[in-house]
Each structure stands twice: as structure tokens, then as C-alpha cells.
Chain A
């Protein structure tokens, strides 16, 4: 899925989108955000790291992966499933090959005995194939499209909710003014300060 953000977008939006990349999406291997380097200076990378999201930054004709993504657990599972299946197929292919080799050897022997009338060649048996890759890709793409669509709907609802939410109450609170400080617990800058005497004589007409 691709979310395009403008360079002048509100930084909070860029951060929000970056942190929610691929959220609600299950069929992915890696999640990355690619953002201008300057934008990356606003984002706490530990937030990305915790979510397993990788970070690619670009600036002045250079692109750099500064934080590698961690593959999704599902991706790891899918990967090992696939490996199993490939192994099974390999085994079956081997057996087919062996059988074919045997059959060929036998055919040659027969051909020597009956030089004129060769029997029709055995039907070529292809190894059993998984769903053709093209089909698989098309179906994946379609599914991805659906996921993307529902994600878009969801995010617009989240946006609407967020903007309607009242802000936290203002933190302004009247602070109690305590009793006047006694001479002993005056702040350090008042203690033994020659200015206290100088200033307390102001207005007596004996200066200037």
C-alpha cells in the first residue's frame, strides 16, 4: 500500500502515518517508511523500531536505509511453508525423473529388438505444479486492493474521530502562594545580597 504525503504536511500527520504504516494489513513481509531526512529528525526511531517498521531516508540524491525493518511473523511462517512445499516438489520431481530414466532405458532395449515398429512414446508427464504464479499474483493483488480500500475507509474514520475529540483540559491551575519566606529560608539569591540594602534605601532622597 502506498500513502503519499506532501512535503508541507502537518508534521504530526507525517509522524502518525509513518507509525501506522501497514496497520490492519496482514499480508506483508516488511514495512518501510521512506521519508525525507529532514522529516526523519522529527520521528522517534524507537517508536518505529518497536513496531518493526524500517526507515529509509533520502536527501540530496542519496537514499539510505537507516533502520532495517523486521519481517512480519506471518511472512516468516509463509516463507517456511513455501520452503516445505518446494522440498516436497523436489522429491516428487526426483522420483518422476528416476521413473522416466528407467522407462527410457527399457524403451531403448525394446527398440533394439523391434527396430522397425517403434511404440508410441509414453505421454510426457509433467511434475505436478502449484497454482501458476501469474494467477497467484493476480489474486494477491486483488486482495491487497480490498485491504487497501478498507484501510483507507478506516483511517478516514479515525481522522474524523480524532478531530472531534475534545482536547485534554488545560493544565492551568492556581498555585497557592505560601507563607512569606522567613529570613532563614529565603532563596539563595536573596541571602547576603548587598543589593537588598542598596535598593531598600531608594526614594529616601539621599541618592543621586
Chain B
């Protein structure tokens, strides 16, 4: 199998907790994106009969055609990677993963005479346990048997893909998406035993935002997760120092007033005298340990918990600075200063906006990380925000497939290389 063929038919797959990003190298700069979810329709429903064959799972852009009454959604709509991990025996979730993978590959099926399947590079969370790798391989093998669309497949951890897409061979990647956060040092390879995982992501900031909305008289809207998320993204701020930010915001209510108009509707959300609380949301993501958050826990807001999934320990309350330090300190001493030279932030949970007129008390994510590290006595640090963080994992997959030699065979010890399903 020639390198030339492989470069022509490299295919990337990023299994994010909320979105699946996929596409071949020919897609250019940006992959296709669909929600990482599947719908199990009621087979007796009218829509099913109209569509002819009854499907047991629907994925991709057709899902809205099938959605039925609302009370059904929570049981029928499955998000397989809600916290980056799919349980081993969670059959419905694995059905969705397979269907979504097939959906993506079919969309780019090629009829060219020389086409004999893609070289697929899939990307999973850095803390995905071994059985998830096995499952993803199995799924691609089955798909290849049915469709001949997969010539070979490999899996790389998402933080490695981010480092590759940003052209940095030695760095610490902090990847924070919707469900969780991973800290992974990289030096040409991911340093797996230094990975630190946090059970905290954008969804936790949504939980706090919902509480703030309740306090401000919008309890009815606080139940709509998608809306809460948009409000959070629009009004949430990261404080340089939380106490100071709250003090200034309370003394200048006009300057800090948080208003959000739901696009296309007449509904406006005005935090009014609670506008200072917009700083809580940003702080909570980076460090949930300020005493002010206690009052929310006391009244029943769930606290990010320490959990163990498989053999991975997820910290709930560790602040991001501490997480980076404890990850880097597990690496060889001589490597550590080089790692601090490139701290790379990636994922939607770092995309906080910073209105220039509020920059006396609000900061961007990179600055906040630098400040948290300074508190731990780490001074000489460069922190940068990944460009287009949503696509960098997919881009890294494409580079990996393009460059890694086709005859580099998968090895479970290195956790690298291609799995070939067919004899030459």
C-alpha cells in the first residue's frame, strides 16, 4: 500500500462529547460537524412507517425529521460520549457510535477506480480506556466488512491531535470541552502517565448559570439547557480576581449590567442587580473553590465530583493551575521547563469573551491560567489559546494520517500505528 494512496485517502474522526467532526483530507480547512447523538425512534410511529424500512437508530442531520413528543426525548435521544467515556456494555451508545461513523464515511464514499477504502484516524479523549479503543477498532472492522470503506484505522488521543494541529512538538495541552477537561503533556508522544483528568467542563458552568438565572427571576428559563448555555456564553466573564471584580461590579451596576436578548424573539434576560454574578460563571470553570460557591452547594447545586471511571480518576474540584502543575510534575525534570513554555488551551470551554471596556477586572482564559500558575509559584510560562479550537482535533487527525507510514503497525504498548483489516 503506497504512501501516496494513503495521503490521498486520509480520513479524520473527532468524537467530541457534544459534536462529531469528520471528513477526508480533501475537505480542506474545516470538517463536517454533526451532533454526537442518535435517536431511537418508536418503531410503531407514523414517521417510521412513512419512511419505509423501520430503522432502530437514526443519526446526523435527519434526526429532526424523526423527533416525536418531548417527554420521549430523554430516553430516546442518546448522547453516547456525554463525559468522554462510553461504558463497555452500554449497547445503545455503541450503536450510535457505529451508526454515526458509518454515516460520516458513507457521505464521502468515493467511486474512483483506485479507491479501496480510507485510512481512518479516529480521536478519543485522552482518558479513554483500552476497551474503547478495541470497540472503535471493531466498529471500523464491521463497517469495512459491510462497505469496504475502511482500509486501515488508528486512534490518537485528542490532546495529541491538538498539539499536532498547532505544530508544537513539546507542550502541555489543556483541552476543556462540554463534559470534562484533560491535561496532557506532549513531547513527540503523549506522556500518558502524566495525564490529569477533571470531571468539570462547560456543562458545570451551565449548572451555575441556571442557579443565577433562578435568583434573577428567570426560573422558568433555567430549565432549558440550550438557552442557559447561550446566556452563559453571552454574559459570562472570567475575573482577574473574583472578590475585586464583584466589588467593582456592585459599585458600578450600569457598566456591568448583563442583558441578553434571545435572538429572533421578544424575550430579554436582564440580570439587573445580579449582574455581578456573571463573574461567578467564569471563575467556577477555572477554580470552583472560592467560598462564595459554598452557598450554591448548600442549597443543592451539584458539586463537581471526584469519580473513577474504568481505571481513570477524575478530579472534581481541582483548579486548572493545580491540574497543570500536578501533570507537569509527573514528567522528567529536564522536560518540565520546556512544557511550561507552551501551555496550549483548546476546546470551547476556554472561549470566554472579554469586552474591552471591562478589561480592568475581566481577563481572557490564557491570562487566567497564567495567574493561577503564578499562585503556585510557576512564573516563566507561555500560555496560548488554540486557534479555531473546535476543529483542531480533526486537523491533527488529518496530519497524523498523512504522515504516519502506512506500514507502521498498531502496537498496544505504544498505543500507536495502523490496524489493517485486509491482507494486501
> Footprint of B on A, CB under 8 Å?
8-11, 36-38, 40-46, 55, 57, 59-60, 66-67, 163-168, 170-181, 187-190, 192-200, 202-203, 207-208
- B399: which of A9, A10, A181, A193 is its contact (CB, 8 Å)? A193
- B221: which of A37, A176, A195, A202 is its contact (CB, 8 Å)? A37
CB distance from B302 to the nearest CB of A (A): 22
Q: Does B70 contact A (CB under 8 A)?
A: yes
- C-alpha spacing A55/B266, complex, angstroms: 9
Q: Apart from A40-B267, A59-B221, A190-B398, what 20 extra A-B contacts exist at CB < 8 Å?
A: A9-B69, A37-B267, A38-B221, A38-B224, A38-B227, A60-B219, A163-B46, A166-B50, A172-B60, A174-B106, A179-B8, A180-B4, A196-B399, A196-B403, A198-B188, A198-B403, A199-B399, A199-B403, A202-B416, A203-B407
Q: Are the CB atoms of A203 and B169 closer together than 8 Å?
A: no
- C-alpha spacing A10/B169, complex, angstroms: 50
- Residues on B with beta carbons closer than 8 Å to the beta carbon of A173: 107
- A202: which of B28, B29, B218, B404 is its contact (CB, 8 Å)? B404
Q: Does B316 contact A (CB under 8 A)?
A: no
Q: Are the CB atoms of B264 and A181 closer together than 8 Å?
A: no
- C-alpha spacing A46/B62, complex, angstroms: 26
CB distance from A106 to the nearest CB of B (A): 66
Q: List residues of B (395-411) whose CB comes within 8 Å of A's CBs.
A: 395-396, 398-400, 402-405, 407-409
CB distance from A2 to the nearest CB of B (A): 22
- C-alpha spacing A61/B217, complex, angstroms: 10
Q: Are the CB atoms of A46 and B264 closer together than 8 Å?
A: yes
Q: Are the CB atoms of B165 and A189 closer together than 8 Å?
A: yes
- Residues on B with beta carbons closer than 8 Å to the beta carbon of A10: 68-70
With an 8 Å Cβ cutoff, the count of chain B residues facing the other chain is 65
Q: Are the CB atoms of A208 and B169 closer together than 8 Å?
A: no
- C-alpha spacing A67/B265, complex, angstroms: 10
- A177: which of B4, B51, B112 is its contact (CB, 8 Å)? B112
Interface secondary structure of A, over-half rule: loop
CB distance from A42 to the nearest CB of B (A): 8
Task: Say yes or no: A45-B266 contact (C-beta < 8 A), given A38-B221, A187-B395.
Answer: yes
- Residues on B with beta carbons closer than 8 Å to the beta carbon of A179: 8
A43, A168, A192 interface centre (most CB from chain B within 10 Å): A43
- C-alpha spacing A171/B65, complex, angstroms: 12
- B29: which of A55, A170, A189 is its contact (CB, 8 Å)? A189
Task: Say yes or no: A176-B110 contact (C-beta < 8 A), given A10-B68, A60-B220.
Answer: yes
Task: Say yes or no: A175-B107 contact (C-beta < 8 A), given A38-B224, A164-B50.
Answer: yes
- Residues on A with beta carbons closer than 8 Å to the beta carbon of B220: 36-38, 59-60
- Residues on B with beta carbons closer than 8 Å to the beta carbon of A189: 29, 165, 167, 395-396, 398-399
- Residues on B with beta carbons closer than 8 Å to the beta carbon of A42: 265
10 smallest CB-CB distances across A and B, nearest first, come from A203-B408, A199-B403, A66-B266, A180-B8, A44-B264, A189-B395, A196-B403, A59-B220, A177-B110, A195-B164
- Which of chain A's residues has its CB closest to B4's CB? A180
Task: Say yes or no: A40-B266 contact (C-beta < 8 A), given A189-B398, A203-B409.
Answer: yes
- Which of chain A's residues has its CB closest to B266's CB? A66
- Residues on B with beta carbons closer than 8 Å to the beta carbon of A193: 164, 167, 399
- Residues on A with beta carbons closer than 8 Å to the beta carbon of B407: 203
CB distance from A161 to the nearest CB of B (A): 12
Binary interface profile of B, 258-302, with partner A (CB < 8 Å = 1, else 0)? Answer: 000010111100000000000000000000000000000000000
CB distance from A171 to the nearest CB of B (A): 6
Task: Say yes or no: A60-B217 contact (C-beta < 8 A), given A167-B51, A174-B111, A189-B398.
Answer: yes
- C-alpha spacing A168/B60, complex, angstroms: 15
- Residues on A with beta carbons closer than 8 Å to the beta carbon of B51: 166-167
- C-alpha spacing A8/B62, complex, angstroms: 23
- B9: which of A38, A43, A177, A194 is its contact (CB, 8 Å)? A177
Task: Say yes or no: A202-B405 contact (C-beta < 8 A), given A174-B111, A187-B29, A189-B395.
Answer: yes
- Residues on A with beta carbons closer than 8 Å to the beta carbon of B403: 195-200
A40, A175, A179, A200 interface centre (most CB from chain B within 10 Å): A175
- Which of chain B's residues has its CB closest to A200's CB? B403
Q: Are the CB atoms of B395 and A57 closer together than 8 Å?
A: no
Q: Does B371 contact A (CB under 8 A)?
A: no
